[in-house]
Each structure stands twice: as structure tokens, then as C-alpha cells.
Amino acid sequence: GITWTWATDNGINPNETAVGTVGTHVFRAKFTPTDTANYCEITKDVTVTVGKAMPHLTIGNFSAHYGHPVSVKITCDSDGEVTYVFYKNDGKTKTNTEDGAETEGGAPKNAGTYDIKASGAETSNYLSREETLVEGCVISKAPNPAVLRSTVTVRRGSDYS
């Protein structure tokens, strides 16, 4: 049997096997045979090429109430900027002032069904990504504040406007 570790003579902590940031890195690996009486230990430089990772976008709790912009918290595991855009329920048409949004693609205020697409910007270690996080975000109609009474008393000859 063979065991291997990162060699300590190139500044790598043998307890850390992270391969680093995007690019090509050289690490020194040390292979130690189980039977050291009959076999030699081998140290070899290993070239590791690290490519960009795909970021993961997640959406936290969001609230949607008529008359108020949708409140959204989106996070990304990369250090790139995260942006999001609201679309009408067709997923193609950005929200606009007809939806109560202050800007094109902005958070709607009006009752309706909307989609939310988020984007994580490309960084030195991560690719860019666009993803539909929510399909069918519903802003419900608000309850009517009018008070209707079930009985009305009218006196003969009174004006009840």
C-alpha cells in the first residue's frame, strides 16, 4: 500500500490540500510506501490546473404584499456582484411602471404573478451565472378597506346618501 501527503518543503501545510485559485500551481507530493524497509519514498512535483467554478445562487425569504415592492435577499457563494431582475410571468418581459415597478425589471408593487432571475458576476475564480430562482412569485390583492354593513336603518323621508 501507498500513502501520500503534501510535502512540507514547499510551504504547503500538509493538513491543507486546497489547490488554490484559478490557474496552474505546482505542489510537491510525497508518496510513502507502507513497506519502507524495501521501497523508497518518492517526492514528485505535481502540476494542478484549477478552472473557474460555477457559483450557486440562493434566494432567502421574500415577501410580497400589494402596494409595497417585493423584498428579496439573494446570495451567491462567489465574491461577485449579485443582481436580479423581475419579469412578468412569461419570463421574457421585464416588469415596468404598469406593474408598479419604479424601473424596468425593478421590484413590482401591483398584484400579479412574476418571475425573478438572478445573476452572479464573473470573478477571477468563478464563472458568471444567470438563473431563474423563482417562478410564479405572487403578489396577492390587498383586502378591501371598505366597511359594509349588513343592515341599514332608514327613516321614512330621510336622505340616506
27-79 pLDDT, tens digit per residue, is 777 888 888 899 898 888 888 888 999 999 888 766 777 877 677 888 888 88
Beta-bridge partners for 46: 27
Give the whole-angstrom CA distance, residue 127 versus residue 112: 33
Instruction: Read off the pTM.
Output: 0.64
Beta-bridge partners for 30: 5, 43
75-125 pLDDT, tens digit per residue, is 888 888 999 999 998 889 999 999 999 999 998 989 988 888 999 999 999
Give the whole-angstrom CA distance, residue 99 versus residue 147: 27
Give the whole-angstrom CA distance, residue 110 versus residue 139: 7
